[in-house]
Structure 1
Amino acid sequence: MPTPSRLLSRRAILLGAAVAVLPVAGRAAPPPGWRLMMVESPACHHCRAWHAQIGPGYAASRAGRAAPMIHVDVDGPYPDGLALDRRPWITPTFVLLSDGFERGRVEGYVGARHFHPVLEAMMREAGLSLPGAPG
């Protein structure tokens, strides 16, 4: 039978290990695969325009099927583990991520007419295949 001091030291080790794991377990990691991260601000009128004009159909679009969107406030918090070229400061900024690494970026909103062509060109340049795209 273990002595009380030895039992206490085992409990202390287990408690210490559990406490060390908790901060890691509670953090949000970037989702795996291709994602489009929209960095926005509640005060951004271009962000509101994007949400009104593009947002409702984005998930069903070729780009949306290839790179589902995650939304992040410009002031954070950002998902842990991101490898960005630089911190976004223009809103909206659309950052193409592959397993958490930045592969491309569009800063600002170019309007409903040009958004998908600009975004899809950036995606193709990054090596992302778009569903239903020719060739």
Structure 2
Amino acid sequence: MRRARVTVVACAITLTALLPARAAELIMVEQVGCHWCERWDAEVSAIYPKTTEGRRAPLRRVDLHDLPEDIFFTSPPVFTPTFVLVEDAQELGRMEGYNGDEFFWFLLGRLLDAHEIAAVPAE
């Protein structure tokens, strides 16, 4: 019985080591009634997953008042929308607010380029 448990644990450790690390993701912190969140939805949300940036850091939306426990923010988000680049549950950087699609894409590109771990995925 003990030998079977040891074998199961050894297999689990081996499989865990073979799994890739969690990829970068862009966390969008939003709240109901946020005008700027609604504007981002209208101007960017439909195209985001189809872009290189969207493949580099897939979007995950969270509510400002119900922040996930699996992300370690450097400080609690206060404004909405706040876009937080996360890798392996650690915040790498953030953009607070939304001032239009051109500014969003520019800032996001700079944020992604600043972190090699958010590199362009192979096609």
Q: Following the alignment from structure 1 to structure 2, what is the Cα–Cα distance between the partners of residues 109 and 81?
A: 25
Q: Deviations over 1:93-113 (max 9, x none)?
A: 000000110011000002112
Structure 1 stretches of 4+ moved >2 Å: 78-81
1:48 aligns with 2:38: yes
Gaps of 5+ in 1: 1-30
Structure 2 residue identity aligned to 1:82: I
After the TM superposition, which residues 95-134 of structure 1 pair with which residues of structure 2 at under 5 Å, given as runs?
Answer: 95-127=84-116, 128-131=118-121
Gaps of 5+ in 2: 1-20
Q: Following the alignment from structure 2 to structure 1, what is the Cα–Cα distance between the partners of residues 76 and 28?
A: 13
Query: CA 1:131/1:114 → structure 2, altered by over 3 Å: closer, same or farther?
Result: farther
Structure 2 residue identity aligned to 1:124: D
- Rg larger in 1 or in 2? 1
In the alignment, is the contact (CA less than 8 A) between 1:39 and 1:94 conserved in 2?
Answer: yes
Q: Following the alignment from structure 2 to structure 1, what is the Cα–Cα distance between the partners of residues 54 and 68?
A: 20
Q: Following the alignment from structure 1 to structure 2, what is the Cα–Cα distance between the partners of residues 110 and 32?
A: 30
1:92 aligns with 2:93: no
CA RMSD in angstroms comes to 1.7
Structure 1 residue identity aligned to 2:92: R
TM-score (norm 2): 0.76
TM-score (norm 1): 0.70
Q: Following the alignment from structure 2 to structure 1, what is the Cα–Cα distance between the partners of residues 120 and 97?
A: 22
Structure 2 residue identity aligned to 1:125: A
After the TM superposition, which residues 58-69 of structure 1 pair with which residues of structure 2 at under 5 Å, given as runs?
Answer: 58-69=48-59
Structure 1 residue identity aligned to 2:39: A
